């Protein structure tokens, strides 16, 4: 059994409003494992395992993160994630930020 099959469509990137502004947008990965539960944090390890596979969920996750980037209002941005270590990647929530980069945008002009 593919143990990621229950996740879709109960997975999403949630914008972290308190840390987002006109210079950066921060997103958290959250998952609802059972229909009656609230969304909860998705660990870096679990997100990476799901993304690294070749199942439908892997392609969907890649498409989801690409969509967030495509829909960014920034003319150019840097993609950044928090660091982790193998000892804490099972506990830390997957999070990423799109940081507006006007200098990078000027290269395409």
| pLDDT tens digits, one per residue of 38-90 | 888 989 998 898 888 888 878 888 888 898 999 999 999 999 998 999 999 99
Binning pLDDT at 50, 70 and 90, where does residue 3 land?
very low
| pTM of the shown model | 0.79
User: What's the confidence (pLDDT) of residue 109?
Assistant: 62
Mean pLDDT of 24-49: 86
User: What's the confidence (pLDDT) of residue 2?
Assistant: 37
- The yes-or-no verdict on residue 33 having pLDDT over 80 is no
Instruction: Work out the mean pLDDT of the chain and round it to a whole number.
Output: 84
Q: Give the CB-side neighbour count of residue 93, counting CA atoms within 13 A.
A: 16
Report the DSSP beta bridge partners of residue 24.
99
Kindly state the percentage of the chain with pLDDT values over 90. 39
User: What's the confidence (pLDDT) of residue 9?
Assistant: 53
Coil, strand or helix: which one is 47? helix
Please report which residue ranges of the chain form alpha helices under DSSP H.
44-52, 56-70, 102-107
Coil, strand or helix: which one is 100? strand
7 versus 25: the higher-pLDDT residue is 25
């Amino acid at each position: 059994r593919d143990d990621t099959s229950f996740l879709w469509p109960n997975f999403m990137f949630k914008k972290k409003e308190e840390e987002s502004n006109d210079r950066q947008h921060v997103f958290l990965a959250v998952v609802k494992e059972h229909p009656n539960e609230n969304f909860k944090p998705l660990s870096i390890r679990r997100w990476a395992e799901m993304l690294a596979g070749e199942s439908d969920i892997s392609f969907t996750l890649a498409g989801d993160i690409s969509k967030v980037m495509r829909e960014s209002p920034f003319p150019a941005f840097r993609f950044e994630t928090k660091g982790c270590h193998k000892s804490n990647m099972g506990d830390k929530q997957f999070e990423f930020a799109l940081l507006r980069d006007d200098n990078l945008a000027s290269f395409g002009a």
